[in-house]
Amino acid sequence: MFIQMMKLKKQIRFSCITLMFLFLEVVFASDMSGIEILQNQWAMKFVKIPAGKFKMGLNDFESALMEVPEAKPGALKDELPEHSVKLSHDFYIGQTEVTQQQWFRIMENKPGPEKFWSHADWKFLPVVSVNWFMVERFVEEINKLDTQFHYRLPSEAEWEYVAKAGSEDLRPVAIEELEDYAWFINNSGDVPHVVASRKPNEFGVYDMLGNVWEWVDDWYAPDTYSKNIRSNPDGPRKGFSKVRRGGSFHCPVHLVRPGYRAANKPDVAYEVTGFRLIAEAK
């Protein structure tokens, strides 16, 4: 009788554990519903972004300008005119910025302030203080090492499409909710934070706004949007500066917008600037 009771208790305990794991699997599946993710050997995750059309540029110039303190003549004009853009192919974009650990495993060096590398969570902080040329070297190296995927920086259009996540407003979330989705000067303590520690956008991508500026592939020109390139635009063929997007932990709110365009010479590195990649099957 005692043995039978012990067997019964064991069966009940096993059933409870099984049900618990089934419940967790259902919750996980629900959270990931509609989001397709691939992961490479360096634990970089990439979210599938569907092809589609969107409005690129600024659709509410007056509201955006009102956010800019002491706006200078010509401010934000490089976001005009708003125009329709078609991205004709699905693509996979980094679910987060490239982290310090991922950079170190590929490049075997530690750019940026030592304080970021000695942080308890150093592995999961976004890598910073990388100029555009350094990022290109990273891309070259990871492409040599990976036999499954080819990597590149996103175009300016691809980046903005993901950052807007279907919204046609100044931001994909209300400004009152921005602190839930982005690290910027209001909530960051003026330091970078572990990637994916705010809420993701509607595509399931983290940190498209705030935490660190992100290099994209395009050369910068103030009149890019007037060139009437409406399908898979990739920017000017040459220039003096490369575009960076998204704002950073150091930025005030008016810089933390999907449409805001900033640029630097490609040999300039700041401790507020990092990057994310696009992955394509080889």
221: CB partners within 8 A, 6+ apart: 235, 236, 239
Nearest CA among 76, 78, 53 for reference residue 66: 76
| pLDDT band at residue 11 using 50, 70 and 90 as cut-offs | very low
Distance between CA atoms of 163 and 179, rounded to whole angstroms? 16
Q: What region does 98 belong to: left with phi over 0, alpha with psi -120 to 50, or beta?
A: beta
**Segment among 38-52, 158-172, 218-232 with least mean pLDDT:** 218-232
Taking 90 as the threshold, does the pLDDT of residue 18 lie above it?
no
Please report the pLDDT score of residue 17 as a whole number: 35
Q: What is the pTM of this model?
A: 0.88
Let me know: does 47 contact 95? Beta carbons within 8 Å: yes
Q: Across residues 161-186, what is the average pLDDT? A: 97
Per-residue pLDDT tens digits for 142-154: 999 999 999 999 9
Q: Tell me the percentage of the chain whose pLDDT exceeds 70.
A: 88
Please report the pLDDT score of residue 34 as a whole number: 81
Please report the pLDDT score of residue 13 as a whole number: 43
Please report the pLDDT score of residue 227 as a whole number: 86
Distance between CA atoms of 129 and 165, rounded to whole angstroms? 27
Q: Across residues 177-183, what is the average pLDDT? A: 98
Let me know: does 128 contact 119? Beta carbons within 8 Å: no
Let me know: does 113 contact 257? Beta carbons within 8 Å: no
Q: Where are the alpha helices (DSSP H) in 32-124?
A: 61-67, 100-107, 114-117
Long-range contacts for 223-229 (Cβ within 8 Å, ≥24 apart)? 223/78, 224/78, 224/156, 225/56, 225/57, 225/78, 225/79, 225/80, 225/81, 225/82, 225/83, 226/81, 228/83
| pLDDT band at residue 272 using 50, 70 and 90 as cut-offs | very high
Per-residue pLDDT tens digits for 83-132: 999 999 999 999 999 999 999 999 999 999 999 999 999 999 999 999 99
Amino acid of residue 12: I
Which of 5-14, 15-24, 98-107 tops mean pLDDT? 98-107
| pLDDT band at residue 7 using 50, 70 and 90 as cut-offs | very low
Please report the pLDDT score of residue 229 as a whole number: 79
Mean model confidence pLDDT for the chain: 90
For the chain, list the strands marked E by DSSP.
37-39, 45-49, 52-56, 83-87, 91-94, 149-152, 213-219, 242-245, 261-264, 273-275, 278-281
Please report the pLDDT score of residue 228 as a whole number: 73
* Six token digits for residue 236: 């000017």
What topology does CATH give the domain 35-281? paralog of FGE (formylglycine-generating enzyme) (3.90.1580)
